[in-house]
Amino acid sequence: MHPRGQVTVQADRPRTLWLRYKAIAMAEEALGRPFPTLNLLQLGVREYGALLWACMEHEDPSLTIDRVYDLMDEYGLPTFTAKLLEAMASAWPKGAAPGKKGRNASTGTRSSSLPSGSSGSLPTSSGT
């Protein structure tokens, strides 16, 4: 059994997608917009690539966006879409999606989504 937010997708090898706050922050930085504005059923290729890269980077820090695009070509976007939706359901039970404002149980203070980066970039095979 995987920790919350983790699912395995069979690609070139079994890869673990981990939809965690660090991955969300990385995707936000790369895309220049906050996660709550992304609709997983209506993402563009660049958005899917950024989110997949951010979710798989934890087990392969040398992973590039170009390699993620190759994986998307080789194994099909529906495979990854289903697994992203599964990871999201595992990470945030009904009604607990990131970016929703609510009270922090430990401090009693309001919380909100992280700000997005002003200029994001994804690692490519050339390292830029």
- Altogether, the residues listed in the chain come to a count of 128
pLDDT above 90 (res 114) = no
Q: Which amino acid is at 80?
A: F
For residues 42 and 118, the answer to whether their CB atoms sit within 8 Å is: no
* pTM of the shown model: 0.69
pLDDT tens digits, one per residue of 2-16: 678 899 999 999 999
pLDDT at residue 52, as a whole number: 94
pLDDT tens digits, one per residue of 73-101: 999 999 998 998 899 888 876 655 555 54
Q: In what helix (H) or strand (E) does residue 67 lie, and over which residues does it extend?
A: helix 65-75
pLDDT above 50 (res 65) = yes
Average pLDDT value for residue range 17-36: 89
For residues 77 and 11, the answer to whether their CB atoms sit within 8 Å is: no
